[in-house]
Structure 1
Amino acid sequence: MPHPAPQPAAEPPDLLTAELVVDMAAPVAPAMSPDGRLVAYSVVANSGRDGRPHSSVWVAAADGSAAPRRLTDGTARDAAPKWAPDSAFLFLTSDREERGTAQLRRIPLDGSEDIAKAESLTRWRGGICDYYPLADGRTVALLAEDEPTAEDERREAEGDDAKVWGRHLPVTRLRLLDLATGEVRTVNGLGDRHVVEVIQRPDGGPLAVLSWATPEPDPGVTTAGLHLVAPGTGAVQDLGPVGVEARSPAWWNHDGTWHLAHLAVPRGHLVGASAVLDTVPPATGPTVEQRHLTVGMSVCPTELVQVSDGPPLALFADGLDTALYRLDPQSLRFHRLSCATGTLAGLTASRSGETLAVLASTAYEPRNVHAGPTGGPLVRLSDTSPELRRIRWGVQERLGYRASDGLPLDGLLILPAGRTRDDGPFPLVTLVHGGPYFRSADEFALTVVDCGQWLATAGYAVFLPNPRGGSGHGHEFAAAVAGAVGGDEWTDILAGIDLLVAGGVADPGRLGISGWSHGGFMAAWAIGRTERFKAAIMGAGISDWGMQAGTGDDGILDAALGGSTGWKGPGPHIHDRNSPISYASRIRTPVLILHGEQDTNVPLGQAIHFHRALRHFGVEHEFIVYPREGHGLHERAHQLDALRRIRSWYDRWL
């Protein structure tokens, strides 16, 4: 069913410009105070004079009884707010002393806060990557790289900077900051393992530490391990390995026994849905058993949150929506508390677990901070982009249909702004999400990557499919693309397009397809399978799965998706069958290629390879490279350029 389109104010609606999209402020990283009274959060915006993102920290009453207060002025990257255990101080990271180098600061919450009262707590050369205030109120766990030595500084000054591969990325180590003395003590028992997350047992007991064997994602994500660290002595107990893409460790207690849960792809799988895995740490030695607490569920956990005085809370992707669950300690199963239309993210809870805050978004409302009782209702606290209410948006419809083999699928349709289905058929752009383990939820999305409404306000219908491989439908649905990308997920997308053509929504002679990352792969794949598309946009996409497995950040996971590696003999290889580059001779569709020059997730070589093949076969295309950018676009000028090029490309060909 479609959501009724919101009507702008009585005045004529504003024009949606690229500047309005790029300069839209967005709240991130909400943090509920332990006593449940206040919520802190950051607001990120691009509109600074330097064209780079900056952020400020705000605090609001959790019950909405008072307007939010801005604690920092937004002239630096003030971010990652977290509370002292007694809720009297707010910690944050800030690079206002040295741009790009985050240090830890602390602000007292006395009702008259401002950045002038913020106390600088660290001057760690290289900066702080992350931190966690400990229960004693006197210590903060820091994640930070080693400070440069005199020899490091000499080599940098003289350009003596040869990199030894395997030791070219700095290791993030666990360190303990004494707030009274400012002394920073490094926990040496973890060796050279790269620490990625830390959380303390709520009773002030050991720290649960998640680490990789190396800072390199390949093989780091497949070598994850859990450890316990005694905060007083620094003694380390290894609990053993955990699954791929492990994250979000969370302690909980039942009948006097402490459990430690986390999210990960179940062991034995490289591709599939995340699961909640749980163990009871032994007194000594490694973990004996990990229990799979979400086995058989048709929804996918996205966040797991520790609650000091109760079992953990979790958010689950549930089709197009998001559900809040709580673990039942007796059955060791998650029970649903509520389900919200669209997206919930950034879940944070009070010490008791009775009050929570979250970022919530629906079809026409961008993400904002909401808070309230765990059982609801939640009150919106932030309103960072009120100017968007003066825009006439395209009507967003929820779609349900079946794949060619009968599998139920879902997705979204955005109609051109101010139009109804009866006005069709329209030029249709299919916008494929990345991942592939991601989804298009029934939320408001307006970025360079998720540009559905940007196109809808320019007269295009936009189809956002959720093919196999994504989240929200359980493990088997997500694992279906392993070694078979471009197979069933492509026919899933095609079935949705055919449905919209048959329904008179899409003009079969004016079809386009776009995507970023895995969505960019799907766009390149689609135009090698059919000539139905009159235009395509490939953003940071994969053209050669063999090359991606050998050069991308997540090589071992990309090999599992593509099906093989080039070092398994002379071939033929499965990844060649699954790579768009293999079908370049068939392509007749004009292609716009967008890629960041410093992208290490999907290296620039993927785009160069595809560009050279298209040039060889005389295919109409443009190839745009954005300096200094990685897998996404962050600089304001680059985002503006990409948005304008995307519209212009479809205006030209559709």
Structure 2
Amino acid sequence: MSLDTRSCLPGAMLRTTAALLLSATLPTLAAPPANSPLHQFGEIALSPDGSLVASLEADLPENESQDVATSVLIRAVHGDHAPVRLRLPCSGPDCIPSSLAWMPDSRRLAFVLQPSPTGPRAVYGVRADGGGLVRLLSFKGTLQDLRYGPDGALAVLATANAHKEPGATQAAAKLVGEIGAQQDEQRIATIAGGAVHWQSPAGLYVYQYDWRPHGTRPPEFVGTASPGNGDDNWWTARLYDFSDGTERLLYAPPQRQQLADPVVSADGSRVAFIGGIMSDFGSTGGDAFVLPLDHPAQPANLTQGATATITSLSWSCGPDLVGGSLAGPATQVLALKPGVVPAVLWSGQADLSPTLYGSGLSCGGGISATIRQTFTAPPEVQVGPIGHWRTLTHENAGRSAAARVQSIVWKSDQYQVQGWLLSPPDAPDAMNGRKDALIVNVHGGPSAAWTPYYLTPRGDTLFLLKAGYRVFLPNPRGSFGQGEAFAQANVRDFGHGDLRDIMAGIDAVERTVPVDDTRLGLTGYSYGGYMTMWTVTQTDRFRAAVAGAGISNWQSYYGENGIDQWMLPFFGASIYADPAIYAKSSPMTFITKVHTPTLEYAGDADVECPLPQTQEFYHALHTLGVPTQFVVYSGQGHGMKDPASSADANRRTLAWFDRYLKPAAPAADRRQ
């Protein structure tokens, strides 16, 4: 959920690429009309010279069930030049651009384009002024993570003839024929002459990579990879050096350390990466490590023992390695050096990210760019030296989310735990006055955290606030934000310590604002769906519950899901070697204790939390006579990408909570 350069070059020293933009100037931007759509920034990329920002942008329609069309824009960092909107060879919601990449000289931009759901993917390039669109590659398969090398060569992660989109949150391919006989292989390739040229070998699925500058041929890369099923084996990925179709092992991590975000220093001598216990590819957090590449040994941990979680790394944001970090309620930007306590360059309760769901900065030319947002302040692009950003865009000027936000900190066992309390603007403060219902929303992961993402109409919180509910977002043990020891505090203890943290957090909320403890609701998705199913087997404190894509039975789940490797770092052994540790945390072990009315929903193409898990829980509650409903969304994977399905889940969630949490009408009203 994750999840948010020391000086700016003088304007006269910037390269001339900004002058290529259209010379028309923009008038002062007024606040948008009240009914205008929210403007969303999906990805930004600052040009290496710091003069231009490319971005993926979309307007979110008022109709929550409507698909979204994405555009590619280029803006000048300095001056009042109008942004350039690229003319793509396709249009509409099915025309999907992604993966922005600037050439080292900042004069051209490349991006991946999916013109239609079933056709070939393509890579296009344009000049910095938005003209001269050229197709560089047409490819049958998937393409992602474009990166230019120092000499201007272009690389990409490519999967030829892919059966599904990369990543376990994507909808699963239909299981037919001999299972496991063919696996998708994502490999590093360079693009030249309208074709791909493989740089990593067959037999390894590459997850993330970076160029290694060394000035010689053939090109060289550093990346994380694992053999076999790409969805399943990220948790066992190792760090490799790749060149000309061969690999060299650099580092094999221990079981409870997953690897993410490898980035190579400008001189090609070192690679930095994030290592820590992680439950999901893309939900990144851990410690920052650095490894020499010419004589690799054990990597140096730059943040060992820190009570914060590193969420991003970059060598291009300053003279040293720069890391994004989550420290309790605060997002931080840190300067990282071996043997030195990390220096805080910026800290604040806001989310900073170059992508819609990520963390960190995009840097170049001595400055940085980021998408900045909070729970109540909508996303805008900001640019400037770290900690001294100015707002570049004003697409959401005058807009805010109607909510009051409080960071809540409480003691649970030996831990200081943090979470967020969101309240409607008119919620009372007086403890002797009206008491409101409270809904607890448990985040997925478990290796993740609630952070200040803007409350959009399509999210899982704003619609509850608008209905008058307070919403509590706890970050219990196992979450990011308090260091690696805290992130590993739920190992071999799912549902037990983290539930104690959540229950203690509710007590802390009730000491802070007036809450009606007889009208508590519980919800969550993914691991949060599991925690919802688990919690109603452990307590009757909640009046109603909604579980999205949950896990009801760790024993059966082990053989049903497409990512069983993620369980080994957390349970310590397979289900076949230690069934008792799985039964200890399985809702089905205690299923006869459920009395809480529970709504469940899931997608029928979910790889991570397969549909039978929700079906098993529903079947038990239905048989036991517990009020329940079960909704299945056709074609949806774990990510629930269809807006109509997500909107329907929100409508059903609100109706379920209204049914059980709204105060009873007075007798006179009921007789009418």
Fold shared by both chains (TM-score > 0.5): yes
- How far off its partner does 1:214 sit? 2.1
**Partner amino acid for 1:169?**
Q
Alignment pair present for 1:445 and 2:452:
no
- How far off its partner does 1:219 sit? 3.0
What corresponds to 2:147 in structure 1? 132
- How far off its partner does 1:333 sit? 5.1
More deviation, 453-462/96-105: 96-105
Q: Secondary structure at the match of 1:489?
A: helix
What corresponds to 1:622 in structure 2? 629
Shift of the 82–258 alpha-carbon distance from structure 1 to 2, 3 Å rule, reads: same
Shift of the 398–49 alpha-carbon distance from structure 1 to 2, 3 Å rule, reads: closer
* Cα distance between partner residues in 2 of 1:622 and 1:410: 32
8 Å contact kept, 1:550–1:565? no
8 Å contact kept, 2:380–2:396? no
**Partner amino acid for 2:342?**
F
What corresponds to 1:356 in structure 2? 368
1:452-491 matched pairs, under 5 angstroms: 452-491=461-500
Alignment pair present for 1:261 and 2:272:
yes
8 Å contact kept, 2:285–2:311? no
Residue 169 of structure 1 is aligned with which of 183, 186, 189? 183
Residue 293 of structure 2 is aligned with which of 243, 267, 281? 281
* Cα distance between partner residues in 1 of 2:292 and 2:155: 23
What corresponds to 1:594 in structure 2? 601
**Partner amino acid for 2:44?**
P
What CA deviation, in whole Å up to 9, does each residue of 1:563-592 have, x standing for no partner? 6543127x5x12112111222211111111
Shift of the 53–264 alpha-carbon distance from structure 1 to 2, 3 Å rule, reads: farther
**Partner amino acid for 2:655?**
S
* Cα distance between partner residues in 2 of 1:486 and 1:161: 31
* Cα distance between partner residues in 2 of 1:280 and 1:563: 30
1:46-445 matched pairs, under 5 angstroms: 47=61, 51-63=66-78, 65-72=80-87, 75=92, 76-96=95-115, 99=118, 101-110=120-129, 113=130, 117-137=132-152, 139-147=153-161, 163-178=177-192, 181-187=193-199, 190-202=201-213, 204=215, 206-229=220-243, 236-242=247-253, 244-252=257-265, 258-265=269-276, 274-282=286-294, 287-307=296-316, 310-328=319-337, 331=339, 334-346=342-354, 347-352=360-365, 354-374=366-386, 376-385=387-396, 388-389=399-400, 393-403=402-412, 405-422=413-430, 424-445=434-455
* Cα distance between partner residues in 2 of 1:497 and 1:468: 15
8 Å contact kept, 2:74–2:128? no
8 Å contact kept, 1:30–1:348? no
* Cα distance between partner residues in 1 of 2:503 and 2:82: 48
Give the unaligned 5+ runs of structure 1. Answer: 1-10, 150-159
- How far off its partner does 1:70 sit? 2.4
**Partner amino acid for 1:128?**
L
* Cα distance between partner residues in 2 of 1:583 and 1:630: 28
8 Å contact kept, 2:428–2:514? no
- Higher RCO (Cα < 8 Å, 6 or more apart): 2
- How far off its partner does 1:309 sit? 7.4
More deviation, 459-468/393-402: 393-402
Q: Secondary structure at the match of 1:34?
A: coil
Shift of the 639–439 alpha-carbon distance from structure 1 to 2, 3 Å rule, reads: same
- How far off its partner does 1:53 sit? 4.3
TM-score (norm 2): 0.82
- How far off its partner does 1:601 sit? 0.7
Alignment pair present for 1:631 and 2:653:
no
What CA deviation, in whole Å up to 9, does each residue of 1:353-406 have, x standing for no partner? x211112211311333221112x31122334545844x6x12111112211x25
Instruction: Tell me the number of residue pairs that the alignment of Structure 1 and Structure 2 aligns.
Output: 600
* Cα distance between partner residues in 1 of 2:230 and 2:268: 35
Shift of the 307–527 alpha-carbon distance from structure 1 to 2, 3 Å rule, reads: same
What corresponds to 1:39 in structure 2? 53
What CA deviation, in whole Å up to 9, does each residue of 1:36-89 have, x standing for no partner? 111111124565999444321122223474453322466310122110111001
Alignment pair present for 1:554 and 2:566:
no
8 Å contact kept, 2:39–2:396? yes
Aligned-pair identity (%)? 25
**Partner amino acid for 1:132?**
R
| CA RMSD, 1 decimal | 3.0
**Partner amino acid for 1:31?**
A
Q: Secondary structure at the match of 1:58?
A: strand
Shift of the 479–98 alpha-carbon distance from structure 1 to 2, 3 Å rule, reads: closer
8 Å contact kept, 2:494–2:585? yes
TM-score (norm 1): 0.85
* Cα distance between partner residues in 1 of 2:207 and 2:573: 29
Q: Secondary structure at the match of 1:221?
A: helix
Shift of the 297–362 alpha-carbon distance from structure 1 to 2, 3 Å rule, reads: same
Shift of the 195–328 alpha-carbon distance from structure 1 to 2, 3 Å rule, reads: same
* Cα distance between partner residues in 2 of 1:148 and 1:410: 41
More deviation, 43-52/431-440: 43-52
- How far off its partner does 1:463 sit? 1.0
8 Å contact kept, 1:250–1:312? no
* Cα distance between partner residues in 2 of 1:209 and 1:499: 44
8 Å contact kept, 1:64–1:379? no
Shift of the 216–136 alpha-carbon distance from structure 1 to 2, 3 Å rule, reads: closer
* Cα distance between partner residues in 2 of 1:348 and 1:127: 26
* Cα distance between partner residues in 2 of 1:584 and 1:28: 41
8 Å contact kept, 2:237–2:259? no
Alignment pair present for 1:580 and 2:617:
no
Shift of the 432–585 alpha-carbon distance from structure 1 to 2, 3 Å rule, reads: same
- How far off its partner does 1:428 sit? 0.6
**Partner amino acid for 2:504?**
A
* Cα distance between partner residues in 1 of 2:182 and 2:68: 27
8 Å contact kept, 1:226–1:241? no
- How far off its partner does 1:341 sit? 1.4
What corresponds to 2:549 in structure 1? 540
- How far off its partner does 1:497 sit? 1.1
Q: Secondary structure at the match of 1:613?
A: helix
Shift of the 606–373 alpha-carbon distance from structure 1 to 2, 3 Å rule, reads: same
* Cα distance between partner residues in 2 of 1:326 and 1:565: 39
* Cα distance between partner residues in 1 of 2:196 and 2:637: 32
What corresponds to 2:171 in structure 1? none
